[in-house]
Each structure stands twice: as structure tokens, then as C-alpha cells.
Amino acid sequence: MSRPLIGITTYFDAARWGSWVREAVLSPPAYAKAVDKAGGAPVLVPPLSLGAVDGYVRGLSGLILAGGVEVDPAVYGEERDERLEEPQPRRDRFETALAKAAIDADVPVLGVARGMHVLNVTLGGSLFRWLPEAVHHDRHAASTPHAIQVSVSSKAGKAIGDHIEVSTPHHQGLRRLGAGLMAIAWADDQIVEGVELQGHRFCVGVQWHPERGNDNRLVDALVEAAIP
């Protein structure tokens, strides 16, 4: 049986090879390795023409919206916070269009960190632009491992159980949930760290990075959902 094609979103940045420094399409290798380990065939998806979105969705069996630079607040109608990294508007435009097309086509989707935020704003939700200010502490910005409570009735919970220990520094968080999204994972201060789109075959977003380390169960669940 052929392996399902799993798209992984990427970004443009300067890269060095040999004596060359050029703009390149980049993706941390952990995503591709996790997809391969789960039995899928990873396909890197560069943020190019919006006209390519429908072709990607028709050709892919599943999609990972990868982590990275924070979503520009302009995407959800707010002003930029100068504490955030420089936005990547081309990537924001492409990934929100890709996410919407994948959702409409019932293609399995896993949103990772920034990717969960992309899912949320694509469906009309909003973000805390600077989470430490909203929750009055900076624990979310630290790399210290912490426990996440997970709903056992959710697709994520069925894959990983009722809790998971993660280390995932982030400065933004989900504020208003997008249409159809249901909270399925929470930090100890009740900030939402996982969501699931109701009525979809598999559309899950998590704040942490399930592609890292030895626990591949969420990526396994994505690939399994992508098999016809």
C-alpha cells in the first residue's frame, strides 16, 4: 500500500550551503522524520502562489501546519505588538488559505504551535497578542516542562491520553475560539493549549510540538486518519 502524502508547511529564510548564502525553503527536519516514522510520505509545501492551494489540497492526504513566527495580528483585525517577531505576511496569507481549503475538503490537519493559531484565525478566532500580559505571569514563555490536561473524549486524547508533559515556549495564545473549534487541552491556568474542529474527520491543533522527541502518537493519528 502506498504511503499517504502529508504536506508540511514551510517558510522562506536565508540559508548557507558551501560558500553560498541564498533564500531557501526551510523546514525543521523533525516534521519530515515524524511523518516518515508514522508511515506517511512527507511533502514540503512552500508559501508561494495562492493559486496552488487547491492543487495541494487535491493531491495531499493530510497536512501539518508547522510552527514558526507568530501570526501577524493584522490577520485577525488587530494592531501589531512591537514585542513580536517581524511578521511573515506571505506565509500568513498562504497558510490561512491552505488551512481553509483543507478544512473545506475534509483533509486531515494537524496544527502545531503557530499552526494551531493559524487554524484558529482562519476560522474567525483571535489570539492574545502578548500572553504574559494577559495572564500576568511568564510561565508560558519559559522552556520548563509542564503538564497539559487533555480531554479523553477528543481525538488528541484518544491518541495520547488525559495528560501530557510538554516544553513549548510561546508568547501568543488562543483568545476567542474560531467557529466550530472546541477546546480539548488546557494548561494549569486554563489557557487553551489544544483544539479540535467539530464534525471534521481529523482537524486538531496543539500548542506543543508533537513531532519532537520520542512520542509520535499525534503524528501517528494524523497519518492514520489520512489513509483512505
136 torsion bin: left (phi>0), alpha (psi -120 to 50), beta (else) = left
Residue of 125, 68, 123 whose CA lies nearest to 91: 68
Q: Cα(70)–Cα(76) distance, rounded to whole angstroms?
A: 12
The angle that helices 114-122 and 89-104 make with each other, rounded to 10 degrees, is 70
* H or E segment and range at residue 63: strand 62-65
Taking a C-beta distance cutoff of 8 angstroms, is the pair 95, 114 a contact? no
Q: Cα(17)–Cα(77) distance, rounded to whole angstroms?
A: 39
User: What is the Rg, in whole angstroms, of the alpha carbon atoms belonging to the chain?
Assistant: 17
pLDDT tens readout for residues 9-55: 999 988 888 888 899 999 999 999 999 999 999 999 999 999 999 99
Predicted TM-score (pTM) of this structure:
0.95
Taking a C-beta distance cutoff of 8 angstroms, is the pair 141, 171 a contact? yes
pLDDT tens readout for residues 174-211: 999 999 999 999 987 888 999 999 999 999 999 999 99
